[in-house]
Structure 1
Amino acid sequence: MRIVVIGHGMVGSRLVEDLIARDQDAYVTVLGREPHGPYNRVLLSSVVAGKSDPAMLAMSAVDSERARVLDGIHAVDVDRAARTVTDSRGDVHAYDRLVFATGSAARIPDILGIATDRGLVPGVSVLKDLADAEGILARLPKSRRAVVLGAGVLGLEVATGLAARGLTVTLVHHSDRVMERQLGDAAAQIATGSLSRLGVRVVTGSSVAQAIDRRGQLSAVRLTDGTEVLTDLLVMCAGTIPEATLARRAGLACERGIVVGSDLASPTDPAVFAIGDCAQPPEGGTGLVAQGWDQATRLVDAWTGASVPVARPAHDDPTSIVRVKASGLDVVTMGLSGKFEHGERELRAVRLADPSIGRFVEVVVSHGLLVGATVVGDKDCAAQLSAMYTRMIPVPADPAHLIIRPLAGAGPAAAASVEDMDDADTVCQCNTVTKGRICAAIADGCDSVEDVAKATRASTGCGDCRANVTRLIEAAAHDKVPALAG
């Protein structure tokens, strides 16, 4: 079975790794546009903030005689009639199945003066790949001011990261509140107050209309309200667009992304599939890597004859937890949070807002379960509610107890620490890795987070579970140390 995978990012590499491991008849050719192997794009904002080294982002790549990986070589043409893909060197690759894992591209707003025929003006950048992050890092030593366009999750992470590095930061957002897709008015106001305390000036209801350069270097931006803001750096975090250009050219059905059915196959051609950000599945897209990984697993399951779980609606997926990895700002949303009317009969909602200390907590309950939550400025509460949401633990009769005394009296309580968790409990939500699996890997000789990641994939997603994996390694090492004689 000849399979060609276009795209060697977090999702494409996962598919190839699983496929080679589980299907002995699979021979795979991978075409990757970037000149290096897969890496964790989720942590790019941490690189900009100085919390992660670029070298730490590298992920394992498949090593097999049945996999031919061509990094730095991209697909330029798909001939569906002949079932071939032509790459940028002119080589032709035949396939029985073709998988698009091309991800998404950064959306570049229509801003006067941001580009010339040579590309973006020096000082203007997006943050979509490692080259973008390295370009921003190279610019930092000569930058004192920055403007970040877009106050979604990435925009908040970049703005707080640059502020933590000592830059004067202005965050500009077109909507009337930050993170409007996840946060309601009250939560957004509290998040904005926290941003201000971190040194980030927030301008809502506006956008960047023009980039002003001086001697070929960015020197200021003009907002749509006419205000001029001096800046050395403009980072555009204005969303993404599914990368479906090649699929459209090949005549595949495309809307916003590459249209696929529940089997992830194109309705235009049953030999062509799409997964990750480039795909448009019936259940909708979350924009989270966990969904792409789940799609990769489902595809391999289908091809190898394993049972295939039905994809859940994007808003009802327990992996659909949105976390802002910002310096000094904790924001976590999950499930139906911010996406419903409080008057709906089957939903019960309770909230606590305390602007003076920058805390907001809202829980949404339905039929005895937590179906959504928003937490700003309370990391411990967010961790406990996340555990309750993903493990589907029954809630107290009075949902207010989830806020006043998080998880107290909630039946089977969520573990207060990773050491107290059961082996069946999930430690890594992105990859659905249980404590038992991690402990088994440690018992087999894994003595570092990197070793555990290679064995189980824990910590290779958003990275939030890295501290818990470290604690399990330390606990195991402590248990191996013989007690001193009294």
Structure 2
Amino acid sequence: MRVVVVGNGMVGSRLVEELCARSAAGPAGAHALDVTVLGAEDCQPYNRVLLSEVVAGAYDVASIGLPPVVDPRIGLWPGLAAVAVDRDAKLVTDSAGGRHRYDVLVLATGATARVPDLPGIRRGDGLLPGVHVLRTIDDAREIVAATVNARRSVVLGGGVLGVEVAVGLARRAAEGRRGARGTVDLVHPRGLMNAQLDAGAGEVAAQALGGLGVTVRTGVGAAEVLVAGGRLAGVRLDDTATLPADLLVLAIGAAPETRLARDAGLPVDHGVVVGHDLASVADGDVYAVGDCAQPPEGVRGLIAPGWDQARRLAVALVARAEGRAIVPDGEPHLGSAGAGGDHDSCAGTVGEGGNDVVRVKGRGVDIVTMGISGTQRPPRCDAHPRRTVRLSDPDEGRHVEVVVQGGRVVGATCVGSGAVAADVVAAYTRGTLVPRDPAQLLVRAVGPVAATGAESPVRIPDRATICRCNGVTKGDLVESWADGARTLDDVARATRATTGCGGCTEPVCGILDWLRESDPAQPAPTPEPATARTPDPRQAPPPTSPSPIAGSRAR
């Protein structure tokens, strides 16, 4: 079966990896699949989630690459974008004029950064010099280069990415100017991270950002980009205030990349409309996954749902290639009932098994949310009463809220309280019953806890999920240790843990330390750099011309 995958990002590359892994053991696995991958970017896949950390200097570009899949059944063409799909002839045309026939087409085209329609923001067909988006690895390189001479930066957008970018720019400014503060302005027309934080939590988060050198300006938007000498000079806000700027980063969201699907006559709404099986509702031979897809359960813009889609689609395609009926593998997919919920519950009461946990990355900022949170919340109902317990302590820079329903956590907001966040995330993802008085969940925020608390690896069951992005459990980590994994890089290669959002790095390291102490005969690992993970030795350099790699064949 000929499979053409359009897109070699985090979801597209994961799909290919899953296809190869799941078909290798089948009786016809070595011959049933013939996979062609077209990647618009001229590089190996990389962890897009960590681009804001590249801007902050916590990672370098080389360290966020994902290991390529080397398999003779794969033809990988980096630097070649798909430009047209002929569904009648089942043919994909690439940007170099090459044509690729398919039995199954998978669209994993991702999303593109939104650019506001502001006077002065564009120059010709591109953006005004000094104005940047952050969506690709090249974007990150350009922003890092621009920070060398930027005295004042402005970030438009106060969502998760906007906050991470602002914190990263402030960190670079402080390190480059010996502690200088007040060099970064973050502008957002609504409340800070309003999709995840309510007004009280947003105020505490804004206070924390202020301490890092970020001036948060909410309730106001941009009206015009100011130009001087053909370059960015500043931003005028809609309250008439003017912010001088040498660097402007746009972080106002992303739009699904659907042009290819739309031109091919496929139904497109917000994204490519697909069913629960991820097939287009108009063509059973065309699928869509990741940010470009619009499944019935909706989209969240997180990487975990995309990787879950890749896993489910790989199961289906391998079964199709080998002529088997699709047998569910027993693993829940996003949109199914999560911990503590069921499909008969009222709107907004169903969790996602921990796959909607949002953790802001950035040194000095501690924000974690999950489930029911933010300013837009589902209405209450008598059939499924909810209880909300809140601790707001703005003078100490912390705000904690837990939402309980049916004896389980269905939502939480934790700002400036990492310890309680760890316990609440564990309760939420595992679906464990909470105390009769939910206020006890917040005790960690106001008092000491014994060293044998829930965070101790000894107390964590093997089935507990440690890396939510990849579904890696404590048992998987222990098994990788038994198979010889001794460093964080070893574990990442063996299990994929820490290769998603990176939020599980600390608990994974804690479990490794615990295993090391439990197995003193093992030698201590060589220390790793503190600022960036060592690149995978299998990571190949990007090709310099459009040519197939990773066991590719001629088109």
Short-chain TM bin = over 0.9
In terms of mean alpha carbon deviation, does 122-131 or 165-174 score higher? 165-174
> Which letter maps to 1:172?
V
CA distance in 2, matches of 1:232, 1:420: 51
1:270–1:383: structure 2 CA closer, same or farther, 3 Å change rule?
Answer: same
Task: Tell me the CA shift for residue 76 of structure 1.
Answer: 0.5
Task: Tell me the CA shift for residue 181 of structure 1.
Answer: 1.1
CA distance in 2, matches of 1:246, 1:482: 57
What does residue 366 of structure 2 align with? 330
Select the residue among 191, 202, 219 that pairs with 1:205: 219
CA distance in 2, matches of 1:311, 1:290: 9
- Would you say the 8 A contact 1:265–1:272 is kept in 2? yes
Q: Deviations over 1:301-324 (max 9, x none)?
A: 223233154542696212100111
1:310–1:56: structure 2 CA closer, same or farther, 3 Å change rule?
Answer: closer
Q: Deviations over 1:105-163 (max 9, x none)?
A: 00000111111115212210011111011001101110111000000000011111111
- Would you say the 8 A contact 2:417–2:445 is kept in 1? no
> Which letter maps to 1:12?
G
CA distance in 2, matches of 1:306, 1:136: 47
Matches within 5 A, 1:292-371: 292-303=306-317, 304=319, 305-307=326-328, 309=332, 311-312=334-335, 316-317=351-352, 318-338=354-374, 339-340=376-377, 344-345=381-382, 346-371=385-410
CA distance in 2, matches of 1:407, 1:262: 44
Task: Tell me the CA shift for residue 341 of structure 1.
Answer: 5.7
- Would you say the 8 A contact 2:110–2:291 is kept in 1? yes
Q: Deviations over 1:326-383 (max 9, x none)?
A: 2311111101123426754411111010110111111111111111001111011111
In terms of mean alpha carbon deviation, does 63-72 or 320-329 score higher? 320-329
Select the residue among 17, 24, 37 that pairs with 1:30: 37
Q: Secondary structure at the match of 1:165?
A: helix
What does residue 18 of structure 2 align with? 18
Compute the TM-score of the two structures, normalised by the length of structure 1: 0.94
In terms of mean alpha carbon deviation, does 336-345 or 364-373 score higher? 336-345
Task: Tell me the CA shift for residue 283 of structure 1.
Answer: 0.4
1:37–1:218: structure 2 CA closer, same or farther, 3 Å change rule?
Answer: same
Task: Tell me the CA shift for residue 447 of structure 1.
Answer: 2.3
Q: Deviations over 1:192-240 (max 9, x none)?
A: 1222222211112222222222222212111122211111100000001
Select the residue among 284, 287, 305 that pairs with 2:301: 287
Select the residue among 451, 459, 462 that pairs with 2:501: 462
Matches within 5 A, 1:391-410: 391-405=430-444
> Which letter maps to 1:293?
W
CA RMSD, Structure 1 to Structure 2 (Å): 2.0
Task: Tell me the CA shift for residue 414 of structure 1.
Answer: 7.5
Q: Which has the higher contact order (CA 8 A, sep 6+)?
A: 2
1:299–1:407: structure 2 CA closer, same or farther, 3 Å change rule?
Answer: farther
CA distance in 2, matches of 1:343, 1:76: 47
Matches within 5 A, 1:180-191: 180-191=194-205
What does residue 259 of structure 1 align with? 273
> Which letter maps to 2:472?
V
- Would you say the 8 A contact 1:385–1:406 is kept in 2? no
In terms of mean alpha carbon deviation, does 471-480 or 375-384 score higher? 471-480
Select the residue among 130, 135, 140 that pairs with 1:123: 130
CA distance in 2, matches of 1:154, 1:293: 20
Q: Secondary structure at the match of 1:390?
A: helix
What does residue 530 of structure 2 align with? none
Q: Deviations over 1:385-406 (max 9, x none)?
A: 0011000110011111111357
Matches within 5 A, 1:50-61: 50-61=57-68
Q: Which ranges in structure 2 are unaligned for 5 or more consecutive residues?
A: 24-28, 175-182, 320-325, 337-347, 523-555
What does residue 6 of structure 1 align with? 6
Select the residue among 216, 225, 233 that pairs with 2:247: 233
1:321–1:230: structure 2 CA closer, same or farther, 3 Å change rule?
Answer: same
> Which letter maps to 2:358?
V
What does residue 173 of structure 1 align with? 188
What does residue 475 of structure 2 align with? 436
In terms of mean alpha carbon deviation, does 157-166 or 378-387 score higher? 157-166
In terms of mean alpha carbon deviation, does 117-126 or 234-243 score higher? 117-126
- Would you say the 8 A contact 2:399–2:413 is kept in 1? yes
CA distance in 2, matches of 1:91, 1:480: 55
> Which letter maps to 2:328?
S
Q: Which ranges in structure 1 are unaligned for 5 or more consecutive residues?
A: none
What does residue 472 of structure 1 align with? 511
What does residue 165 of structure 2 align with? 158
